[in-house]
C-alpha cells in the first residue's frame, strides 16, 4: 500500500487540509505535492524550512511522492544549527517560501508555494527506502540525523489507527510543529495515509483549538495545561472522541481537570524520534493518569537492570526500557551514509515500570530522571506528581544534584505561589517514602522548555550544580533562579 495512500484516493474532500493559509482539497493538495515532486527529480536528499502551514505539508508530501528523503528544519533554528543540519545531511536543495532563504543558505532554493499543479505521479518508492531525516539533540554534541524509513512510518500509523480507531471519518486538529514526530509523522502524515481531514491551527492556543471542530486533538502537556486553565475553551472540545497527549509526561492535575471539563480523560502515549510511537492507551480502553498504556501492535518492550538482566513487571520496580519492532529507525546519518544502530532490543535511554497487565509508566530519562540517592533509586516523576498536588505548585521539575553524602540530592524546582521550603518537603514526605522527599526546593519564575514543551532538565542540573558549587548549596541556587 502506498505510504500516502489516502492522499491518492480519487474521492475529493472540499477541505482535506485547513490552515491559516487557507483550505485545500485533496485533489489540489495532491497536484501541489506532485508539482513539488517533479522539481526534486534526481536529488539525493532535500531540506525544507518547516514553518507551520500548508506549504510545509505540500513540500514533505512532494518529497515522499518523489522518494527523496527530506530534512525538516525548524523555522526558528539558529544559524549554526541550520548550517549543521544542511551540511551534515548533504541536502542538495532547500524548499522554502522565506524570501531571505537564498541569502541564509548556500543551497539552491526551491519555492514551495505556486500556482502550478501536476497530474503525473512518480512510481511508488520501495517500502524500505528512507523517508525522513529528523534531527534530534542528545546530551552531548551536535544534533544527530535520525533516518526513518517509509516502512517504519507506515507500520506506526497503521498501529495507531488500530489503537485509536482512527478512520477517514475523523477530523484531526492540532497546531504542533511540523518538524517532530508528533506534529509531522502523526499530525500531518497520519491523515495523508489514513484519511480524514486535518486542521492545523498555526499555533496551539486554547482559542484556536476551541474554534476548530474536530474529532481528534493532538497536544503536548504545555498545550493541555493551558487549555485546562481555560474552562470555556476546554468544554468546547467535549464533542471530540479523542484528546491525545504526548512528547512529555502529562501532569496528573491536568489529566483530571481535562476529564472533568471535557467528559473524557486524555489518551497518553510514548515514543521517541528513533522509535516513533511504541506504547499507547487505547481509544476503547482505560486511560490512567501518569501511565502511557500498552505496546502497539507489532511492538515488544521490556525493562532491565543496569547489568541488562530482566526486572519484574510488577508496576513498582524501575528498569531501563528497551523496545523492538517495525517502527524503529534505520540509524544515524553520518558523513552522507547511514550508520546502523544495531539490531534486536533498542535501548531508549528511558526508565519505566511495567505493571502485570502491561501498562507502562515512564519514569523519565535515565540520565536525568532516575535519581540515585542514599542507596535508593527514585523516579523524578513520582516526586513531581506529588508536588503538583500542592495548591501552591503550578509547575515543577525534580532532578538529582551531586551530593557528597547521598550521591545525589533530590532537588525540586517549583513554579508557583510563595510557600515555605519545609512545607513542600513535608508534603512529599507525608505521601511518599521518606527517602523520596526533596532535600531542597528552589522557586523559579519558569521552567526552561524546548519547542515541544519538554522541560530541559539538563539546564536545571548544570545551572543548579554551577550555582551550588559557588557557595552554599541552598542559598546560591536560590539566588540563581529567583
In this predicted model, what pLDDT tens digit does every residue of 294-331 receive, in sequence order? 999 999 999 999 999 999 999 999 999 999 999 999 99
d(CA 55, CA 71) in angstroms, rounded, equals 15
Query: Across-strand partners of 399?
Result: 411
Strands (E) across 178-318 are located at 197-200, 216-219, 242-245, 267-272, 276-280, 294-295, 300-304
Residue 90 sits at the vertex; the CA angle it makes with 85 and 96, to the nearest 5 degrees, is: 65
> Predicted confidence band at 407 (pLDDT cuts at 50, 70, 90)?
confident
In the chain, what is the greatest distance between 2 CA atoms, to the nearest angstrom? 70
> Predicted confidence band at 467 (pLDDT cuts at 50, 70, 90)?
low
> Predicted confidence band at 479 (pLDDT cuts at 50, 70, 90)?
very low
Dihedral sign (CA 410, 415, 419, 423): negative
pLDDT at residue 472 in the model: 42
d(CA 23, CA 206) in angstroms, rounded, equals 21
Strands (E) across 224-368 are located at 242-245, 267-272, 276-280, 294-295, 300-304, 319-324, 331-334, 337-340, 346-354, 360-365
pLDDT at residue 380 in the model: 87
pLDDT at residue 354 in the model: 98
Q: Higher-confidence residue: 105 or 188?
A: 188
Q: What is the DSSP letter of 265?
A: P
* 165 grid coordinates: 480507531
Phi, psi of 357 (to 5 degrees): -90, 10
* 198 grid coordinates: 486535518
pLDDT at residue 249 in the model: 84
Is 196 within 8 Å of 150 (Cβ atoms)? Answer: no
d(CA 55, CA 121) in angstroms, rounded, equals 19
C-alpha R_g of the chain: 23
CA distances in angstroms from 15 to 3, 19, 114, listed in the order given? 21, 10, 18
Average pLDDT of the chain?
90
Compute the average pLDDT of residues 179-202: 97
Domain 368-481 is classified in which CATH homologous superfamily? Answer: ANL, C-terminal domain (3.30.300.30)
Per DSSP, the three-state class of 479 is: helix
**8-38 burial, b for 16+ CB within 10 Å, e for fewer?**
beeeebeebbbbeeeebebbbbbbbbbbbbb
Kindly state the helix (H) or strand (E) to which residue 398 belongs, with its residue range: strand 393-403
CA distances in angstroms from 394 to 219, 362, 389, 443, 463, listed in the order given? 19, 21, 9, 11, 21
Domain limits, CATH 3.30.300.30, in the chain: 368-481
What share of the chain in percent tops pLDDT 90?
73
- The pLDDT of residue 279 is above 80: yes
Q: Higher-confidence residue: 141 or 104?
A: 104
Tens-digit pLDDT profile for residues 122-137: 999 999 999 999 998 6
- The pLDDT of residue 480 is above 60: no
Q: Which of 47-51, 81-85, 139-143 has the lowest mean pLDDT?
A: 139-143
Query: Across-strand partners of 163?
Result: none
> Predicted confidence band at 94 (pLDDT cuts at 50, 70, 90)?
very high
Q: Which of 152, 126, 140 is nearest to 274 (CA)?
A: 152
d(CA 30, CA 121) in angstroms, rounded, equals 9
How many of the other CB atoms lie within 10 Å of CB of 453? 19
Compute the average pLDDT of residues 378-385: 86
pLDDT at residue 468 in the model: 55
Residue 96 sits at the vertex; the CA angle it makes with 141 and 452, to the nearest 5 degrees, is: 45
Residue 379 sits at the vertex; the CA angle it makes with 229 and 370, to the nearest 5 degrees, is: 120
Q: Which of 10-19, 46-55, 228-237, 281-290 has the lowest mean pLDDT?
A: 10-19
Domain limits, CATH 3.40.50.12780, in the chain: 17-363
- The pLDDT of residue 474 is above 70: no
Q: Which of 256-270, 318-332, 435-449 has the lowest mean pLDDT?
A: 435-449
Is 251 within 8 Å of 388 (Cβ atoms)? Answer: yes
Domain 17-363 in CATH 1.25.40.20? no
Chain centroid to Cα 474, Å, comes to 33
Is 278 within 8 Å of 295 (Cβ atoms)? Answer: yes
**CB proximity list for 20: less than 8 A, separation 6 or greater:** 53, 201, 202
Query: Across-strand partners of 46?
Result: 70, 93
d(CA 116, CA 473) in angstroms, rounded, equals 63
- The pLDDT of residue 13 is above 80: no
Tens-digit pLDDT profile for residues 28-48: 999 999 999 999 989 999 999
Is 40 within 8 Å of 111 (Cβ atoms)? Answer: no
pLDDT at residue 367 in the model: 78
Amino acid at each position: 500500500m502506498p505510504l500516502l495512500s489516502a492522499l491518492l484516493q480519487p474521492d475529493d474532500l472540499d477541505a482535506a487540509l485547513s490552515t491559516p493559509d487557507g483550505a485545500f482539497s485533496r485533489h489540489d493538495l495532491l497536484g501541489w505535492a506532485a508539482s513539488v515532486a517533479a522539481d526534486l527529480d534526481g536529488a539525493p536528499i532535500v531540506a525544507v524550512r518547516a514553518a507551520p502551514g500548508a506549504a510545509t505539508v505540500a513540500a514533505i508530501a512532494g518529497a515522499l511522492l518523489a522518494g527523496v528523503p527530506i530534512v525538516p528544519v525548524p523555522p526558528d533554528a539558529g544559524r549554526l544549527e541550520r548550517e549543521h543540519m544542511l551540511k551534515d545531511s548533504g541536502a542538495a536543495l532547500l524548499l522554502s517560501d522565506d524570501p531571505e532563504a537564498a541569502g541564509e543558505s548556500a543551497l539552491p532554493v526551491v519555492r514551495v508555494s505556486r500556482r502550478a499543479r501536476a497530474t503525473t505521479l512518480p512510481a511508488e518508492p520501495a517500502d524500505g527506502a528512507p523517508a525522513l531525516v529528523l534531527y534530534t539533540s542528545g546530551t552531548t554534541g551536535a544534533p544527530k540525523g535520525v533516518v526513518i524509513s517509509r516502512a517504519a512510518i507506515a507500520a506506526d500509523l497503521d498501529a495507531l489507527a488500530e489503537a485509536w480507531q482512527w478512520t477517514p471519518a475523523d477530523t484531526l486538529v492540532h497546531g504542533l510543529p511540523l518538524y517532530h514526530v508528533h506534529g509531522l509523522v502523526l499530525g500531518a502524515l497520519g491523515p495523508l495515509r489514513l484519511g480524514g481531514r486535518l486542521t492545523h491551527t498555526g499555533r496551539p492556543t486554547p482559542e484556536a483549538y476551541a474554534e476548530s471542530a474536530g474529532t481528534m486533538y493532538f497536544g503536548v502537556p504545555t498545550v493541555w495545561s493551558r487549555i485546562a486553565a481555560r474552562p470555556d475553551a476546554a468544554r468546547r472540545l467535549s464533542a471530540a472522541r479523542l484528546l491525545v497527549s504526548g512528547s512529555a509526561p502529562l501532569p496528573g492535575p491536568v489529566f483530571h481537570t481535562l476529564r472533568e471539563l471535557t467528559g473524557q480523560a486524555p489518551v497518553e502515549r510514548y515514543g521517541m524520534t528513533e522509535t516513533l510511537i511504541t506504547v499507547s492507551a487505547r481509544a476503547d480502553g482505560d486511560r490512567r493518569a501518569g501511565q502511557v498504556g500498552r505496546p502497539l501492535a507489532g511492538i515488544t518492550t521490556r525493562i532491565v537492570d543496569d547489568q541488562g538482566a530482566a526486572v519484574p513487571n510488577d508496576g513498582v520496580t524501575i528498569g531501563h526500557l528497551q523496545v523492538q519492532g517495525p517502527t524503529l529507525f534505520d540509524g544515524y546519518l553520518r558523513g552522507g551514509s547511514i550508520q546502523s544502530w544495531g539490531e534486536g532490543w533498542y535501548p531508549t535511554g528511558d526508565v519505566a515500570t511495567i505493571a502485570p497487565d502491561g501498562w507502562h509508566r515512564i519514569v523519565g530519562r535515565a540520565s536525568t530522571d532516575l535519581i540515585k540517592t542514599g542507596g535508593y533509586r527514585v523516579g523524578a516523576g513520582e516526586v513531581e506528581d506529588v508536588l503538583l498536588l500542592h495548591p501552591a505548585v503550578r509547575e515543577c521539575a525534580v532532578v538529582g544534584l551531586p551530593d557528597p553524602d547521598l550521591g545525589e540530592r533530590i532537588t525540586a524546582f517549583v513554579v508557583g505561589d510563595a510557600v515555605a521550603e519545609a512545607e513542600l518537603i513535608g508534603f512529599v514526605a507525608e505521601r511518599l517514602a521518606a527517602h523520596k522527599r526533596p532535600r531542597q526546593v528552589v522557586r523559579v519564575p519558569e521552567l526552561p522548555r524546548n519547542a515541544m514543551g519538554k522541560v530541559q532538565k539538563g539546564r536545571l542540573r548544570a545551572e543548579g550544580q554551577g550555582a551550588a558549587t559557588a557557595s552554599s548549596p541552598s542559598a546560591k541556587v536560590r539566588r540563581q533562579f529567583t
